[in-house]
Chains A and B, each alone.
Chain A
């Protein structure tokens, strides 16, 4: 019976001209989006390679100078493109591509765009991900709204039921038929994107992420399909079902996410960039703490070398002072940036959970995390770059400390020291980290699929003709 149902639905669709037109448009759109995005990703990757290598060269080739001058000479860390950014750019367009690494400062200024645009900015962008999660549900509505209501309105349902067809099995068959159809439509695109990924020599992690994205999107679209069938089963006319479903779509995709996002920002307010910088400056200016740290470190050194006066120490105190100054800054930066990030992440986890009323939020959250273009991934990169900056500072300051100035001659270092600084190599988060951060969103998506499914199982056997 299921085979017959699927065959018949397919035959009807095949003979529907408007369906083919829709399909061709969708296919062109999707193929264009995937290929365009893949090419862009390739160009970006090359640019990233060139920029990283150039920057390394610039650091190694700098002329001889005082190590602290070298620390101020600075260098850029470049954020590598996320593996699936071609599908879901997420926050990337709003986040800096580079982090400037220099003594004394963590580059909060570079963080500004993300902070001011918030996550609200990313809606309204036509990316492959929004085509799939925002527009494709419309196709599902158009396909599934008439599935039951249409047969009821036309009268074929009456004739079918009079034939002794069990309505429960018939509805199940409809659901299956439509799922198979959707799968047949989407699978080629998914495979095309997979091929592009493999061709781009992506790592296993990226492929796992892509697989996860497929599952997440299937759950979301599947839930949508079940809701469409549930509404279709309860409506007398196709018009009624379409009206309700389009309303639900608009509410869930356009209206609710914005409201929830506003609410999340109100619930977990994050400071404006001006206030943020001011707060950091205030804490850095609190010299009492710095003086105490310095005194403590000097005392420890005196004891270690068993001397009375600092001038008798066999080390360069400038290096110690610089390093202590850095470490004082680290504590301040860590606290402020930690709080800022935590605020953003709290907003994001609220969005995930509010996916219950607007599952679009849940699916967006999950695909963005899987694509590696969310805040969590950015924070990881940002922290790694900061760690790298701290490594450079420690190396430079250590060199200064080990080289007391002689005869008032200014200390100078060269290529040998620069080469002790390792190349910045960034290991991104793994797919497991991404999944763990999305526990709420994934739960919401499973519920989004199960609840209408159970509803349909209850309604279907008592279907009215």
Chain B
């Protein structure tokens, strides 16, 4: 149901980040990040706290301007046309924030109506909520009564309903119960299979290996490793990660 919309114009990679630099005062958040992600890839970006993961996503969303370098989404430069770039994105933030006085369904309907070019009917939107793991009984309750994980699920539904060719996720499973996390991962794998390109920032090495087809390790604003998920075993990945972190930060994390 998604593949027709996922087609990238031309033959450029859906996500292209070239030599990104970003500094906050004395803090160098990104120090020359290069990253290209091919169509249909689910890419897990691993990194310790403060590595620059959120900063990277913020640049792709057009919320931050890089000091140097450029980024393209589906061939659209985020600096030249931030709104055009955003139209090709679906995004799930670390903490999904909704309107507490509206129900989960009303929130989804509102965000979708305002932001999407895809027309939606009630059935399609309810289906998105279900696929995100929100029980039918909760759809029409006010978000003020939701748990953190339930809000997260509405956020996922909002992203799913967009049917965008590229998805950005920041710690998508934070706050989800194990079953919901498992369902989300299954969903992501499914989407990647349909040609959606996914970039997901995470700390969770285990889940990264489980869902991603490629894994990058970001430390101190630079991509240290860019691995094929199938080519590394779990234990191997952990050792690699810790090594990279220790090497750059001098002391242990």
Which A residues form the contact surface with B (CB < 8 A)?
1, 4-5, 8, 11-12, 15-16, 154-156, 158-166, 170, 464-465
Contacts and interface: CB of A to CB of B under 8 A. Distances in A.
From DSSP, what is the main secondary structure of chain A's interface residues? helix
Contacts of B95: 155
A16 B99 CA distance: 12
Contacts of B98: 156, 159
Nearest to B110: A8
29 contacts: A1-B113, A1-B114, A4-B110, A4-B113, A4-B114, A5-B114, A8-B102, A8-B106, A11-B101, A11-B102, A15-B101, A16-B101, A155-B95, A156-B98, A156-B99, A159-B91, A159-B96, A159-B155, A160-B111, A160-B114, A160-B115, A161-B61, A161-B62, A161-B63, A162-B61, A162-B115, A163-B114, A163-B158, A164-B86
Nearest to A15: B101
Q: Can you list the 6 inter-chain pairs with the closest CB atoms, starting with the nearest?
A: A163-B115, A155-B97, A164-B86, A162-B91, A164-B87, A15-B101
Contacts of B111: 159-160, 163
Contact of A8 (B62, B83, B99): B99
Given A4-B113, A158-B63, A163-B86, 15 more contacts: A4-B114, A8-B99, A8-B110, A12-B101, A15-B101, A155-B93, A155-B95, A155-B97, A156-B99, A158-B97, A159-B93, A159-B158, A160-B115, A162-B93, A163-B111
Nearest to B113: A4
A165 B116 CA distance: 8
Interface string B170-185: 0000000000000000
Contacts of A159: 91, 93, 96-98, 111, 155, 158
Contacts of A162: 61, 86, 89, 91, 93, 115
A8 B91 CA distance: 22
Interface in B82-133: 83, 86-87, 89, 91, 93, 95-99, 101-102, 106, 110-116
A232 to B, nearest CB: 16
A378 to B, nearest CB: 51
A171 to B, nearest CB: 13
Contacts of A164: 83, 86-87, 89, 115-116
Instruction: Give the size range of B's interface with the partner.
Output: 20 to 34
Nearest to A3: B113
A165 B97 contact: no
B55 to A, nearest CB: 14
B172 to A, nearest CB: 14
Interface of B: 61-63, 83, 86-87, 89, 91, 93, 95-99, 101-102, 106, 110-116, 142, 155, 158, 162
A464 to B, nearest CB: 8
B75 to A, nearest CB: 16
B97 to A, nearest CB: 3
Contacts of B62: 161
Most chain B Cβ neighbours within 10 Å, of A12, A155, A160, A163: A163
Contact of B97 (A1, A4, A154, A464): A154
A148 to B, nearest CB: 14
Contacts of B112: 163
A244 to B, nearest CB: 24
A353 to B, nearest CB: 43
A165 B101 contact: no
Most chain B Cβ neighbours within 10 Å, of A1, A8, A165: A8
A154 B96 CA distance: 10
A105 to B, nearest CB: 69
Contacts of A165: 114-115
Contact of A166 (B83, B101, B158): B83
Nearest to A169: B114
A338 B87 CA distance: 69
A166 B91 CA distance: 16
B136 to A, nearest CB: 21
Contacts of B158: 159, 163
Contacts of B89: 162, 164
Nearest to B62: A161
A355 to B, nearest CB: 38
B63 A465 contact: yes
A8 B83 CA distance: 23
Contacts of A8: 99, 102, 106, 110
A16 B116 CA distance: 28
A151 B251 CA distance: 40
B111 to A, nearest CB: 6
Given A1-B113, A155-B93, A161 B102 contact: no
Contacts of A161: 61-63, 86
Given A4-B110, A8-B99, A163 B63 contact: no
Nearest to A11: B102
Contacts of A4: 110, 113-114
Nearest to B61: A162
B142 to A, nearest CB: 8
A274 B101 CA distance: 65
Contacts of B155: 159
Nearest to A170: B114
Most chain B Cβ neighbours within 10 Å, of A154, A164, A166, A465: A164
A465 B63 CA distance: 7
A225 B93 CA distance: 31
A464 B155 CA distance: 21
